[in-house]
Amino acid sequence: MALLEIKDLTVHFATEDGLVKAVDGVSYTVDRGQTLGIVGESGSGKSVSSMTVMGLTRAPNAHISGEILFDGQDLLQASDDELRKVRGDDVAMIFQDPLSSLHPFYKVGKQIAEAVRTHRDTSKAQAWDRAVEMLGLVGIPEPRRRADAYPHEFSGGMRQRAMIAMALANDPKLLIADEPTTALDVTVQAQILELIDRLQDEFDTAVVVITHDLGVVAETADDIAVMYAGRIVEKASADMIFHGPEHPYTWGLLRSIPRLDTPRDEELVPIAGRPPSLITLPGGCSFHPRCPYVRDAHRRTEPGLVPTDADPQHLVACLLDQGTRRRLWGQLEAGETPKEARALAMEDGEVELDTDVAEAGTEPGAAAARAMDTAQTAKEEEAG
């Protein structure tokens, strides 16, 4: 049995501007000891889905449905108190910005000890010792002395290590790492990722890494789910995502990874346009306004998340013909720009493009952008 099984999870927030469909029918599983990477831009629902696992999105205006089976227990049905007991014990979480995620007024050791004492019936001294032990384990030198320091006296990397120490202090079965390296220097990023990887082996913890940067999960993840506008658009083994991605959005993400082998001053290729408003999702394939390969039919038909012919574990939600997809990816991998790739595909008659729509679609109207921002803010508030 999978450690975590999420079935058809939807998380909607009722706001003044309308219903924000933050997560809209997401399913995935994580096994013991496995690492799942969830990748997407901000607003794709990747954080909301995992925070819902922790029960951190519960609010009067949140409508949550589906199933979240953790160790066989449906966390959606659990009471607040039951969920609280799971939180920080069986499921732990680390966050993007370690400075703002640690309480500025309490000593680091105390904050870790508090996590211990919340779930374990230990003395203050024992909890403190555990905190020191954990700090040592995450590689903080002189842990006994550093435990007595405040977060602002730590460097960025040390803070994230402390966060990890706090998260792992109760030996959780599942660790959710929400953008664990985004706020850190590139060199420190690697150290932290390596640390998570090492500890995962040591503790046999399942890990869900949430990131907007495919590079972060390149080395560590077993499986990768790509989310867009509240849905999973592609899900496969990490290997497959990097070598045989089938969704145009995934292609865009892959092309925006900074590579060590490309010169620093070379411009990264971002995905044109902005994520759509979660209140008024585009009809049909929700990626269509930004998709360079869009066909008229894509604006009406919603794609389903279906396995590819080659690999039943490789799920893609795209209306393009599988052959076209492969050819396009081939062009892109060969170094063509999306425009060139598209041109080639057009020659084949595979893609009939309405250039105007494609161009226009990359610039969502100001009103939509505003609605998007509002929804985003509202959602974050509820989540917090």
Contact positions vs another protein (CB under 8 A)? 54, 56, 60, 80, 84-89, 92-93, 95-97, 100-105, 114-115, 118-119, 150, 152, 163, 166, 381, 383-384
Question: What's the CA gap between 312 and 240, in Å, rounded?
Answer: 12
C-beta of 349: minimal distance to another protein in Å?
A: 52
CB of 100 to another protein, least distance (A): 4
- Specify the residue, 24 or 90, whose C-beta has the smaller distance to another protein: 90
Sheet holding 35-39, edge to edge: 91-94, 174-178, 206-211, 35-39, 223-228, 231-237, 315-316, 306-307
Q: Which is nearer to another protein, 153 or 352 (CB)?
A: 153
Q: Which is nearer to another protein, 140 or 351 (CB)?
A: 140
Minimal distance, residue 243 CB to another protein, in Å: 35
Of 103 and 370, the one with the shorter C-beta distance to another protein is 103
Give the residue with the Cβ less far from another protein, 95 or 329: 95
61: which 2 tokens? 């205006």
Indicate the residue among 60 and 72 with the shorter CB distance to another protein: 60
Residue with Cβ nearer another protein (110 or 342): 110
Question: Which residue from 213, 258, 233, 184 is spatially nearest to 41, judged by alpha carbons?
Answer: 213
For 374, residues 6+ apart whose C-beta sits below 8 A from its C-beta are 15, 17
**Closest approach of another protein to the CB of residue 57, in Å:** 11
Identify the bridge partners of residue 94 per DSSP, sorted by sequence position: 177
Two tokens, residue 333:
């991998």
> Structure tokens of 94?
């680390």
In the complex, least distance from residue 208 CB atom to another protein, rounded to whole angstroms: 13
Chain center to CA of 182:
12
Nearer to another protein, 93 or 241 (CB): 93
Question: Closest Cα partner for 329 from 292, 354, 368, 282?
Answer: 292
Token duo for residue 268:
């990264």
φ/ψ of residue 310, rounded to 5: -75, -35
To the nearest whole angstrom, how small is the minimum distance from the Cβ of residue 79 to another protein?
13
CA–CA distance, 301 with 82 (Å, rounded to integer): 41
Residue 191: both structure tokens together: 């150290």
Smaller CB distance to another protein: residue 227 or 383? 383
Whole-number minimum distance, CB 200 to another protein, in Å? 18
Residue 53 CB, shortest distance to another protein, in Å, is 11
**Tell me, what amino acid is at 260?**
L
DSSP 3-state assignment of 13? Answer: strand
Kindly give, in sequence order, each residue whose CB lies less than 8 Å from that of residue 263, ignoring residues fewer than 6 positions away: none
3-state DSSP call for residue 39?
strand
Q: How far is the CB of 96 from another protein (least distance, A)?
A: 8
Query: To which residue do tokens 């690492």 refer?
Result: 35
Distance CA 8, CA 49 (A): 11
